[in-house]
C-alpha cells in the first residue's frame, strides 16, 4: 500500500521552520483517520532535515530510503502485526502565515530537580508539544544555553491524546548525555513510563 496526503502548516511565533511536534501531530491526525488509534503501538519519530515549507505525507507498509532523494522525517508505527511508515517530504508550497506561540507557561510552571523536570499540565496542547518545550528548557538551564537544542527523535509505546494528559503530571528524566551534544530522556505521565525523547545541540 502507498497513500499520499498533503500537510499544511503555519509557522509558530518568529520561527521560519516547522518543528517536530507540529510535523508529528499533523501526520498523526491523518493517520488516525485511516487506522484504529487504540491499536497503534510502538510509535517512533525521527527527524532527518528541517522543514521550511509545506509537505507531502506518504503512508506505506514498505519503505526503502534509497527510493527517496530527500525526506524530512519518518514516523513508524505498528498495527495488527504490520509495521507502517509515514514519510514527510517537503513540497514546493510555501507556508502562509504564522500563529502566536509562547513556551512561557511550561517554563514558568515546570520544576527542575537534578536530572528531572516536572510539569502539572493545564494546557490544551499535545503531549509532544509539551515535552519538547519542557526538555528544551531543562537542557538550556542544566547543560548549555549556547547553540540551539532541537528534537531529533522520540518514541511512544502508545498514542496519547490531549484528554489523556489534562491535569496529569508530565515528567522527563535525563538518562543519557553524550558529550553535551545528544541527550536521551525518559517520558512519564503520572509516573508511568510512556516513551523516550532525544535532543541534539546544533
CATH number, domain with residue 128:
3.10.129.10
For position 30, which CATH number holds? 3.10.129
Concatenated DSSP letters for 155-195?
A: EEEE---HHHHTT-EEEEEEEEEETTTEEEEEEEETTEEEE
- Residue position matching grid coordinates 504490520: 82
Which residues on neighbouring strands pair with residue 45, listed in sequence order? 75, 154
- Interacting residues of 23 by C-beta distance below 8 A, sequence separation 6+: 7, 9, 45, 47, 51, 55, 72, 73, 88
pLDDT digits (tens, 9 = 90+) for 29-76: 999 999 999 999 999 999 999 999 999 999 999 999 999 999 999 999
Q: Give residue-wise pLDDT tens across range 126-185.
A: 999 999 999 999 999 999 988 899 999 999 999 999 999 999 999 999 999 999 899 999
- Overall number of domains in the chain: 2
Say if residue 116 is in the same domain as residue 131.
Answer: yes
User: How far is residue 202's CA from residue 147's CA, in Å, rounded to a whole number?
Assistant: 6
The answer, yes or no, to whether residue 112 has pLDDT greater than 90, is yes
| Co-location of 110 and 157 in the same domain | yes
Quote the domain boundaries for residue 85. 2-98
For the stretch 78-104, pLDDT in tens is 999 999 999 999 999 999 999 998 999
Q: Among 98, 124, 147, identify where a domain stops.
A: 98
- Same domain assignment for residues 91 and 16: yes
Amino acid at each position: 500500500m502507498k497513500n499520499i496526503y498533503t500537510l499544511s502548516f503555519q509557522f509558530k511565533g518568529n520561527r521560519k521552520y516547522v518543528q517536530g511536534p507540529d510535523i508529528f501531530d499533523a501526520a498523526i491526525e491523518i493517520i488516525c483517520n485511516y487506522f484504529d488509534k487504540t491499536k497503534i503501538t510502538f510509535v517512533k519519530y525521527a527527524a532527518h532535515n528541517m522543514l521550511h515549507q509545506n509537505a507531502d505525507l506518504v503512508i506505506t507498509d514498505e519503505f526503502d530510503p534509497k527510493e527517496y532523494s530527500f525526506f524530512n522525517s519518518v514516523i513508524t508505527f505498528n498495527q495488527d502485526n504490520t509495521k507502517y511508515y509515514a514519510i514527510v517530504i517537503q513540497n514546493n508550497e510555501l507556508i502562509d502565515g504564522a500563529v502566536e506561540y509562547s513556551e512561557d507557561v511550561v517554563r514558568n510552571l515546570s520544576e527542575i530537580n537534578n536530572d528531572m523536570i516536572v510539569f502539572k499540565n493545564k494546557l490544551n496542547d499535545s503531549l509532544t508539544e509539551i515535552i519538547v518545550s519542557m526538555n528544551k528548557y531543562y537542557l538550556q538551564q542544566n547543560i548549555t544555553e549556547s547553540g540551539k537544542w532541537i528534537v531529533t527523535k522520540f518514541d511512544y509505546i502508545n498514542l496519547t491524546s490531549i484528554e489523556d494528559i489534562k491535569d496529569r503530571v508530565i515528567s522527563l528524566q535525563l538518562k543519557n548525555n553524550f558529550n553535551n551534544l545528544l541527550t536521551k530522556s525518559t517520558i512519564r505521565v503520572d509516573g508511568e513510563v510512556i516513551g523516550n525523547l532525544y535532543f541534539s545541540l546544533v
